[in-house]
């Protein structure tokens, strides 16, 4: 709790002290138009996740798999924990797609897995997802015995990826029976290596209700990205569309601290960093017609053309979290645990009717605290850090690593 | 908080010493000489100053109570009780300053006079306002012993609720029915005081469930644990436990758990019961059908 408190104070001080001056005065600049922001956002989302994440995970997963292949009693799981807002499934998928051990087969039966409408059917849905792989034993688990050590190395060639464990349970009665079922499958199928992605909040909750950490030996958290990592990740993507006004590295240009400030305020999270960065971009003041002309020009101009728009960095800062009611906090805490959740399931986990929570969802969406995509709700990355601090100060259990 | 209490304790102990000495000294003085020596010259200005001081003190009481309540309901939960618990200290401080100012205004504060005045006042109060003084002293002692603090949920005699006010004579308890009950501090001398949270945000909530002797108790226990774990109000950092007890009419299950905020006690209980009953209905676990005993029918 105090960790979160100090972290938020540290970030505030850092944001005050960081004032990267643009080469232009503030009066001459305006925020970039929404269409340009969306275009940049789309390009970031379609790009691979930061190399720093992939390098770290490869370095952590490779020895675990190696050990599992050579030692019969070695753990057959690797758990990767990340803040709720990080797309841990995508990061794992990016990491494993470029895996250099060709003897390994990587399967993803849960790539598009979502909670079923009736939560009691989650275990059944998991079983159905595994039915395509007859080698994975998913029924009569109580009667099964772990395979014998004889010739075990020949059978250990497949890695199963569970991209986001939080999509496999709901905080309601019988809502995490599916997790216990998963646990059994993983334990009984030690001839498969299981790579599991989960949000820290979901894992923390599951630790309380079914002591999940006790069953998994190797649990790693995503590393925090520093200023260089964020810069190396975002700059090449941005430069496929725009030109960035860069600081002069040979002089004492204060804009050198720009990326450092983004790294601090994002707490090393790629998703928060990308949003802060997008919000900090400015361009020369233009009329509506000129902006429209730019849009047309940009769609016609080849990506590497020198006539691209020059974008200036402004002081990066997080928006202020609005004043929340107690119902808002319960609602947001529910979403924090489940990552992405639809209204029906959210109402079920809160023990309310949908109509009871609808008004607050609308208000929180309008304030920008909630993101709504295809009918599912999630926390907006820009508010994530402040929200975890607010919840911990209001006596909600929040993992200090969140 | 400890320093604040020590200051008040020193003042109180000094007062007690003076009281005992004053009884002796007050008797040795002639009444006329005593009044001439003890009182300063009373003028209209001084009277106005005195009235003004009392009004300021009264206003400060009101402002501090309102301000502390306003702030405490707007800060994060973890600071709510800290702010509320400081109200008696600030009120005590204002009271001490006002009394000292009035004494300085109307009384010649030599050592002898202080002893004489306190002695006289003590004798007068001892006979006329015995219970009132008893409550004031009990209130001062309660500041140190802390059987209740502002924000605590207490049961005193038949009254249960949250302590919302801490006055000179007594405390104000807001009941679940939204009634405000004033209970004098001197109840601490004679009555047991049950405090559910003792300065903490959480207070244990016990929820009872009743089934027949033949019920699948393993299933019931599992559902009760899950009902508590899944409730949005539950403080998971604190223990959750289910206890069973055999009665002649059936089996009683008691779920003990803690809400995040003790104020949510009743809504929490409702949420847990709702969840559990839905699960019992799904599992076809029915409640025993029986006529409640007469004493239970009388309960409200």
Is the pLDDT reported for residue B12 higher than 90? no
Q: What percent of chain B has pLDDT over 70?
A: 83
Residues A215, A244: Cα–Cα separation, whole Å: 48
CA count, 13 A, side-chain hemisphere, A107: 16
Average of per-residue pLDDT across A303-326:
79
A5-9, B20-24, B118-122, B227-231 — which is least confidently predicted?
B20-24
Task: Answer whether A333 touches B (CB < 8 Å).
Answer: yes
Taking the CA of residue A180 and the nearest CA in chain B, the distance in Å comes to: 13
Strands B180-184 and B193-195: unpaired
- Closest by CA to A173, choosing from B283, B299, B201, B296, is B283
- Nearest by CB: A396 against B229, B260, B274: B260
The answer for A35, left when phi > 0, alpha when psi is -120 to 50, beta otherwise, is alpha
For residue A112, the surrounding DSSP H or E stretch is none
Task: Answer whether B272 touches A (CB < 8 Å).
Answer: no
Residues A253, A243: Cα–Cα separation, whole Å: 18
Is the pLDDT reported for residue A134 higher than 80? yes
Residue A85 pLDDT: 95
Closest-CA residue of B relative to A328 is: B232
Residue range B57-70, pLDDT digits in tens: 999 988 998 898 88
Contact B259, B202 (CB under 8 A): yes
Residue range A371-386, pLDDT digits in tens: 998 889 999 999 999 9
Residue A139 pLDDT: 77
Q: Is the dihedral of CA A297, A298, A301, A304 positive or negative?
A: positive
Residue A11 pLDDT: 62
Contact A316, A261 (CB under 8 A): yes
What b/e readout covers A26-43, taking b as 16+ CB neighbours within 10 angstroms? eeebeebbeebeebbeee
The model's pTM is: 0.82
Distances (CA, A) of A54 to A59, A80, A90, A160, B274: 8, 12, 11, 18, 46
Average of per-residue pLDDT across B231-242:
95
Put simply, the answer to whether B275 touches A172 (Cβ < 8 Å) is: yes
Phi, psi of A179 (to 5 degrees): -70, -40
Residue A241 pLDDT: 79
- Closest by CA to A260, choosing from A225, A224, A311, A226, is A226
Residue range A186-205, pLDDT digits in tens: 988 888 999 999 999 999 99
- Nearest by CB: B261 against A1, A175, A395: A395
- Closest by CA to A379, choosing from A202, A146, A132, is A202
Is the pLDDT reported for residue A267 higher than 80? yes
Q: Is the dihedral of CA B242, A199, B203, B279 positive or negative?
A: negative
Put simply, the answer to whether B232 touches A395 (Cβ < 8 Å) is: no
User: Scanning the structure block, which residue is given the tokens 């539950």?
Assistant: B234
DSSP B195-258: ESSTT-S---EEEEEEE-TTS-HHHHHHHHHHHHHH-TTB-TTS--EEEEEEETTEEEEEEEE-
A150-159, A276-285, B272-281 — which is least confidently predicted?
A150-159
Q: Degrees (nearest 5) of the Cα angle A8, A9, A11?
A: 65
Residues of A in contact with B271 (CB under 8 A): 351
Residue A203 pLDDT: 96
Residues A320, A332: Cα–Cα separation, whole Å: 16
Residue A327 pLDDT: 93
Residue B284 pLDDT: 92
Average of per-residue pLDDT across A342-369:
95
- Closest by CA to A216, choosing from A190, A191, A238, A234, is A190
Residue B253 in tokens:
């299950």
Residue A79 pLDDT: 97
Q: What percent of chain A has pLDDT over 90?
A: 59
Is the pLDDT reported for residue B267 higher than 70? yes
* Residue B104: band (very low, low, confident or very high) from pLDDT cuts 50, 70, 90: confident
Residues of B in contact with A397 (CB under 8 A): 235-237
Considering only residues B199 and A256, tell me which one the structure prediction assigns the higher pLDDT. B199
Residue B27 in tokens:
């008797």
Considering only residues B160 and B106, tell me which one the structure prediction assigns the higher pLDDT. B160
Residues A176, A22: Cα–Cα separation, whole Å: 51
Put simply, the answer to whether B202 touches A395 (Cβ < 8 Å) is: yes
- Closest by CA to A394, choosing from B250, B283, B208, B232, is B232
Taking the CA of residue A246 and the nearest CA in chain B, the distance in Å comes to: 41
- Nearest by CB: A351 against B229, B232, B279: B232
Contact B218, B285 (CB under 8 A): no
How many residue pairs bridge chain A and chain B with CB atoms within 8 Å of each other?
57
Taking the CA of residue B201 and the nearest CA in chain A, the distance in Å comes to: 8
* Residue B24: band (very low, low, confident or very high) from pLDDT cuts 50, 70, 90: very low
Put simply, the answer to whether A397 touches B274 (Cβ < 8 Å) is: no
Largest CA distance in chain A: 75
Average of per-residue pLDDT across B35-44:
74
Q: Degrees (nearest 5) of the Cα angle A26, A29, A31?
A: 115
Q: With both helix axes pointing from N to C terminus, report the angle between B87-106 and B2-28 in degrees, rounded to the nearest 10.
A: 30
Closest-CA residue of A relative to B268 is: A351
Is the pLDDT reported for residue A84 higher than 90? yes
Residue range A13-25, pLDDT digits in tens: 665 555 544 555 5
CB interface of B with A, residues 61-80, below 8 Å:
76-79
Q: What percent of chain A has pLDDT over 70?
A: 82
Residues of B in contact with A350 (CB under 8 A): 232
- Closest by CA to A173, choosing from B248, B293, B273, is B273
Residue A391 pLDDT: 94
Residues B250, B287: Cα–Cα separation, whole Å: 10
Taking the CA of residue B277 and the nearest CA in chain A, the distance in Å comes to: 11
Residue A244 pLDDT: 79
Side by side, which strands form the sheet with A29-31? A29-31, A281-284, A310-313, A243-244
Contact A83, A199 (CB under 8 A): yes
Residue B7 pLDDT: 45
Residues A154, B163: Cα–Cα separation, whole Å: 70
Considering only residues B17 and B84, tell me which one the structure prediction assigns the higher pLDDT. B84
Average of per-residue pLDDT across B269-281:
96
Contact B251, B215 (CB under 8 A): yes
SS3 A359: helix
* Residue A174: band (very low, low, confident or very high) from pLDDT cuts 50, 70, 90: very high
Distances (CA, A) of A349 to A332, B18, B58: 12, 64, 49
Phi, psi of B68 (to 5 degrees): -65, -40
Strands A77-82 and A105-107: unpaired
Which of B80, B226, B280, B282 is the mutation pick for testing A, counting most A CBs within 10 A? Answer: B226
Residues A275, B182: Cα–Cα separation, whole Å: 54
Considering only residues B40 and B226, tell me which one the structure prediction assigns the higher pLDDT. B226
Strands B250-257 and B241-247: antiparallel
- Nearest by CB: A393 against B78, B232, B274: B78
Is the pLDDT reported for residue A333 higher than 90? yes
State how far Cα B206 lies from the chain centre. Answer: 22
Task: Answer whether A175 touches B (CB < 8 Å).
Answer: yes
Task: Answer whether A251 touches B (CB < 8 Å).
Answer: no
Considering only residues A36 and B196, tell me which one the structure prediction assigns the higher pLDDT. B196
């Amino acid at each position: 709790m105090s960790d979160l408190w100090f972290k938020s104070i540290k970030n505030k001080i850092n944001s005050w002290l960081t004032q990267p001056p643009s080469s232009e005065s503030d009066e001459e600049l305006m925020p970039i138009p929404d269409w340009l922001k969306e275009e940049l956002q789309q390009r970031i989302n379609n790009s691979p996740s930061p190399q720093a994440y992939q390098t770290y995970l490869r370095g952590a997963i490779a020895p675990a798999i190696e050990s599992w292949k050579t030692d019969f009693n070695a753990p057959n799981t690797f758990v990767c924990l990340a803040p709720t807002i990080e797309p841990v499934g995508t990061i794992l998928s990016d990491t494993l797609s470029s895996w250099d051990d060709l003897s390994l087969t990587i399967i993803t039966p849960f790539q598009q897995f979502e909670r079923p409408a009736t939560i009691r059917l989650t275990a059944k849905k998991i079983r159905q997802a595994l039915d395509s792989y007859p080698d994975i034993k998913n029924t009569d688990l109580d009667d099964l015995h772990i395979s014998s050590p004889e010739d075990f190395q020949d059978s250990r060639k497949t890695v199963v990826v569970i991209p986001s464990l939080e999509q496999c349970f709901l905080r309601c009665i019988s809502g995490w029976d599916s997790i216990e079922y998963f646990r059994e499958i993983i334990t009984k199928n030690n001839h498969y290596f299981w790579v599991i992605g989960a949000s820290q909040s979901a894992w923390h909750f599951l630790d309380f209700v079914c002591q999940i950490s006790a069953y998994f030996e190797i649990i790693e958290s995503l590393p925090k990205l520093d200023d260089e990592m964020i810069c190396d990740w975002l700059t090449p993507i941005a430069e496929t569309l725009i030109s960035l006004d860069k600081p002069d590295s040979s002089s004492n240009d204060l804009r050198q601290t720009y990326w450092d400030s983004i790294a601090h305020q994002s707490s090393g999270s790629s998703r928060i960093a990308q949003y802060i960065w997008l919000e900090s971009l400015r361009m020369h003041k233009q009329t509506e017609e000129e902006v429209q002309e730019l849009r047309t020009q940009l769609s016609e101009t080849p990506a590497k053309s020198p006539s691209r728009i020059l974008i200036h960095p402004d002081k990066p800062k997080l928006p202020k979290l609005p004043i929340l009611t107690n119902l808002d906090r319960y609602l947001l805490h529910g979403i924090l645990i489940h990552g992405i959740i639809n209204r029906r399931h959210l109402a079920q986990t809160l023990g309310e009717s949908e109509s009871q929570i609808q008004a607050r969802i609308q208000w929180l969406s309008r304030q920008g605290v909630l993101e709504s995509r295809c009918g599912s709700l999630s926390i907006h990355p820009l508010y994530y850090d402040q929200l975890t601090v607010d919840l911990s100060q209001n006596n909600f259990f929040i993992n200090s690593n969140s | 908080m400890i320093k604040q209490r020590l200051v008040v304790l020193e003042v109180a102990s000094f007062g007690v010493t003076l009281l005992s000495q004053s009884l002796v000294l007050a008797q040795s003085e002639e009444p006329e000489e005593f009044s001439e020596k003890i009182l300063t010259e009373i003028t209209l200005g001084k009277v106005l100053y005195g009235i003004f001081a009392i009004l300021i003190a009264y206003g400060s009481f009101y402002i501090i109570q309102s301000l502390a309540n306003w702030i405490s309901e707007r800060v994060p939960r973890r600071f709510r009780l800290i702010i509320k618990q400081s109200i008696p200290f600030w009120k005590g401080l204002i009271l001490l300053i006002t009394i000292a100012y009035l004494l300085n205004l109307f009384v010649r504060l030599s050592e002898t006079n202080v002893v004489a005045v306190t002695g006289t006042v003590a004798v007068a109060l001892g006979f006329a306002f015995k219970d009132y003084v008893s409550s004031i002293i009990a209130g001062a002692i309660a500041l140190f012993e802390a059987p209740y603090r502002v924000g605590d949920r207490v049961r005193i005699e038949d009254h249960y609720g949250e302590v919302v006010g801490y006055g000179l004579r007594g405390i104000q308890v807001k009941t679940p029915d939204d009634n405000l009950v004033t209970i004098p501090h001197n109840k601490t001398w004679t009555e047991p005081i049950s405090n559910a949270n003792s300065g903490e945000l959480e207070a244990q909530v016990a929820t009872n469930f009743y089934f027949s002797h033949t019920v699948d108790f393993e299933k019931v226990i599992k559902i009760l644990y899950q009902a508590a774990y899944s409730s949005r109000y539950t403080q998971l950092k604190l223990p959750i436990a289910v206890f069973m007890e055999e009665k002649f009419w059936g089996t009683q299950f008691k779920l003990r758990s803690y809400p995040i905020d003790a104020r949510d006690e009743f809504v929490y209980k409702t949420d847990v019961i709702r969840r559990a009953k839905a699960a019992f209905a799904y599992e076809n676990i029915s409640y025993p059908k029986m006529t409640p005993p007469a004493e239970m029918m009388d309960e409200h």
